[in-house]
Structure 1
Amino acid sequence: MLRILDAHHDRFGLSRPFRIARGTKTVADVVTVHIRQGDAVGRGEGVPYPRYGETIDGALAVIESARSAIEGGAGRREVLELMPAGAARNAVDAALHDLEARLDGAVVAMPTTLIETAVTIVIDTPSAMARAAHAVAGVPLVKVKVDGEQVADRIRAVRAALPDARMIVDPNESWNAAILEVALPVLIEARVDLLEQPLPADDDAALARFAGRIAIAADEAGHGIADLPRLKGSYSHINIKLDKTGGLTAATALADAAEAQGFGLMLGCMVCSSLGIAPALALAPRAAFVDCDGPWWLRDDREGGVRIEGGYLHPPAPGFWGGA
């Protein structure tokens, strides 16, 4: 068995700024992995995230440290032990999934129908957020980014523009318990379906008194199976992102464990290309909330990737990833 691994940095410009409580992105920096075996090539992508101490160079170094094992034939289960969870392992795991499917003539089980995905309204003035919401009128699910300022005005502006959409509100750890207490009546008034990671990840205990008053998803607070016992009583859902779990293999195990422990599932993503989204779609049918609009923000996506129209995600073209 002879394999050749290539890992490199790709950059995708955004069509408009992506502003959240943590900062503003204008480009998506990703690590792309190709693993060739004979005539078959498996592809994968990961997004190193500074919030978790990751960088492009760091992710490439992690992949390089595992090169000899991967080129020597290490499979996905071995990679779980060789590499830490994170964007680097996600890219390698996806490439191995893709390669295995192409070598075996099989396919990774993927949805064959349209997938309802959240469309994100980023932080801006309430009037600008209302205009952004009007521009996507009719979408079934909207995600509203907020920080600690103008919380009520921003949420109400989006709800007025999209009266019928399900709604996720995401402060990205920017609130404290006092802000949440004040915001809770507004969240209820606006019929918010899910509040995502309102408090910093190390403030989980403060969420316990809000349990049952609104559904809350763990994002930055929940990465893997080991986190689940700590999240109980504070969160009703867990946001599974392949860049956090370190790939679809680990994400599937996390989904199984989370469901067994009574958590609802949210499927999320970083701002990425369709190559970063494709593996995650295998979990989409299990998720109560799918938030995979990352490629929607790119000026130019990878050829043959997903399309997002009217809040529905169209699967990628045949042969794009996973043997499908």
Structure 2
Amino acid sequence: MPSPYSLSATIERWPVRGSFVISRGAKTHVDVVMCKISDGNFTGLGEATPIYYKGETAEIAVQEIQIFAEQHALFDRQAVLHHMPSGAARNALDCALWDLECQQSGKALYELADLPRPSALATAFTISLADPMQMESDARAAAASHRLLKLKLSGKDDRERVAAVHRGAPHARLIVDANESWNHLDIAAEAAIMAKWGVELVEQPVSAGQDHLLANVQSPIPLCADESCHTSDDIPDLARYYQAVNIKLDKAGGLTEAIRVAEAAEQAGLKIMVGCMLSTSQAIRPAFALAQRAQWVDLDGPLLLAKDRENPMHFEDGMVMPAAQIGK
């Protein structure tokens, strides 16, 4: 039976502003997957960024979407959830279906997804990994317009980096992202030192799959699973070692599963951070809807690009909101 929908998946390359540096290396551009689904009257859009540390590429994601389209005549979010693995391909398709349904129904995304009515949120701004002096300078510049800074760390000279950032931005809220680099460190001791500089969250201190290293860690700062947290199935085990989880739609494989992750995390007593990969505003819109339930928000992906899409999300004074909400 022919599908009532037309579907396409393409790759777009977006340059990064300067370079984006973490412990795994630097990026000068990001390849995103753009999925479009049309019913003949409306067209839904979904953008996703491949999870590079899982071996995903934009080319693989496009192929996965095309294979799903060839094998299924009817597209609906539950079919996508059950017949595609988590990751960028499913995220692009799932979000395109949400967007299409919004247009067909004339309802806002938060209404369809039973999420809180959206309001402007404070979002973190990422300070790329560099030497302490450079990170101090970057933090000082960023603090002029951002209230919450997220520092990329490497497992070496991290105390010096955090101290430098605190000097450069003494009034900013701070999050640190260890990017799996603290396996060999005394994590409680690192966290105790960083707490003195106002750090309020530590992301992924140990390698994914090595979360048991946190079993006896008494950290004065909440520890947040990132690379270890993908779908709702991960939550029961993570709740043994972490106090928070970072939900990203690309990891979860779409807003549908991301909502399930949030529900499971809340039931397990975990706090929620909603983050993003390098992306344009198209990918941030559904994440922003979910972020209304979060204690920490890290949706600065478009700010790290050299340019954004037309009709972008609005970023001002460290806050993010849809362009349509400006002045309301």
TM-score tier after normalising by the smaller chain length: over 0.9
Relative contact order, higher structure (CA 8 A, sep 6+): 1
**Residue of structure 2 aligned with 1:17, choices 12, 16, 19:** 19
- The DSSP-based 3-state class of the residue aligned with 2:29 is strand
Q: Which runs of 4+ in 1 moved over 4 A?
A: none
What is the distance in 2 between the residues matched to 1:260 and 1:182?
30
Partner residue in 2 for 1:113 = 119
5 Å matches for 1:256-267? 256-267=263-274
Would you say the 8 A contact 2:95–2:286 is kept in 1?
yes
Equivalent residue for 1:44, pick from 46, 49, 52: 46
Cα distance, 1:26 vs. partner?
0.8
CA deviation after TM superposition for structure 1 residue 316, in Å: 3.7
Is the Cα contact below 8 Å between 2:32 and 2:50 reproduced in 1?
Answer: yes
Distance change in 2, residues 1:212/1:151 (3 Å):
closer
**Other-structure match for 1:95:** 96
Give the equivalent residue in structure 2 for 1:5: 7
1:203-242 mapped onto 2 (5 Å cutoff) = 203-242=210-249
Query: What secondary structure, in the 3-state scheme, does the structure 2 residue paired with 1:210 have?
Result: coil
Instruction: Answer whether contact 1:62 1:88 (CA < 8 A) is retained.
Output: yes
Asked if the contact 2:311–2:323 (Cα under 8 Å) also holds between the matched residues in 1, the reply is: yes
Q: SS of the counterpart of 2:260?
A: helix
Following the alignment from structure 1 to structure 2, what is the Cα–Cα distance between the partners of residues 221 and 23? Answer: 19
Write the deviation string for residues 30-53 of structure 1: whole angstroms up to 9, x where unpaired: 000010111200000111122112
2:257 maps to 250
Post-superposition offset of 1:164: 2.0
CA deviations over 1:131-167 (Å, ceiling 9, x no partner): 1111122422110101022111110111112222221
- The residue matched to 1:65 in structure 2 has which SS? helix
- Do the aligned residues in 2 keep the contact of 1:148 with 1:179 (CA within 8 Å)? no
Residue 174 of structure 1 and its aligned partner are, at CA, apart by 1.4
Superposition TM-score, scaled by structure 2 size: 0.92
The answer on whether the counterparts of 2:188 and 2:220 sit within 8 Å (CA) in structure 1 is no
Contact preservation (8 Å) 2:192, 2:219: no
2:192·2:221 contact (CA, 8 Å) conserved in 1?
no
Counterpart of 2:74 in structure 1 is 73
- 1:321 match: none
Q: For residues 172-206 of structure 1, what are the alpha-carbon distances to aligned partners after superposition, in whole Å with 9 as ceiling and x for unaligned? A: 11121425355233212112100000110122111
Match of 2:200 in 1: 193
Residues 292 and 162 from structure 1, CA distance in 2 versus in 1: closer, same or farther, beyond 3 angstroms?
Answer: same
Q: Determine what percentage of the aligned residue pairs are the same residue.
A: 40
Residue correspondence of structure 1 range 35-184 to structure 2 within 5 A: 35-68=37-70, 72-109=73-110, 112-138=118-144, 139-184=146-191
Query: Which whole-Å CA distance do the structure 1 matches of 2:214 and 2:85 have between them?
Result: 29
Aligned-partner Cα distance in 2 for 1:111–1:212: 34
Shift in Å, 1:286: 0.8
Question: Does the Cα contact within 8 Å between 1:211 and 1:233 map onto a contact in 2?
Answer: no
Give the counterpart of 1:311 among 311, 314, 318: 318
- Structure 1 residue 13: deviation in Å? 0.3
Where do 5+ consecutive residues of structure 2 fail to align?
111-115
C-alpha contact (below 8 Å) 1:275/1:305 kept by paired residues: yes
- Checking the alignment, whether the CA contact within 8 Å between 1:48 and 1:56 is kept in structure 2 is yes
The answer as to whether partners of 2:151 and 2:175 remain within 8 angstroms in 1 is yes
Is residue 177–residue 206 contact of structure 1 (8 Å, CA) maintained in 2?
no
Q: Taking structure 1 as the reference length, what is the TM-score of the superposition?
A: 0.94
Tell me if structure 2 keeps the 8 A contact 1:211–1:234.
no
- Corresponding residue for 1:322? none
Q: What is the aligned length? A: 317
Q: CA RMSD in A?
A: 1.6
Whole-Å separation in 2 of the counterparts to 1:310 and 1:150: 30
Q: Helix, strand or coil: the match of 1:66?
A: helix
Say if 2:287 is the partner of 1:280.
Answer: yes
In 1, are the aligned partners of 2:36 and 2:46 still within 8 Å (CA)?
Answer: yes
The question of whether the paired residues in 2 share the 8 Å contact of 1:278 and 1:316 is answered with: no
Mapped partners of 2:249, 2:16: distance in 1: 21
Residue type of the partner of 1:29? D
Cα-to-partner distance string for 1:74-117 (whole Å, 9 max, x where unaligned): 21011111211100000000100000111111111175432100
CA contact (8 A) 1:143 1:167 kept: yes
Q: State the one-letter code of the partner of 2:104.
A: L
Segments of 5+ residues of structure 1 without an aligned counterpart are: 319-324
The letter for the 2-side match of 1:65 is: I
